[in-house]
Structure 1
């Protein structure tokens, strides 16, 4: 894919993210591919199961609020 193809695809994807998710261009460009992919999977009905209490406790240990 050359840069012109990438730019065209990115513009279309940014527009779709705005329509589907209400994202502003800034939100689109700040998002990671994983974040965008998670939203697309959720809309497609392919979302992963939510984390269980053990996983939540582990994440709280790794990323304390303060």
Structure 2
């Protein structure tokens, strides 16, 4: 009989580092975000959607310079 596999703990340190440090979310934004919003911010494109092409990224950067 195999021992039951325990789920790993949620990686709070890594997630907070990415949200607060890399993405520069405010602490208020981090704690108000839904799990779906956090997953979208950390996980890349939505299921069924490919990443932006270089041309699409260039068009967005031209349309919304900052």
- TM-score normalised over the length of structure 1: 0.44
More helix by share: 1
Tell me which structure has the larger Cα radius of gyration.
2
- TM-score normalised over the length of structure 2: 0.44
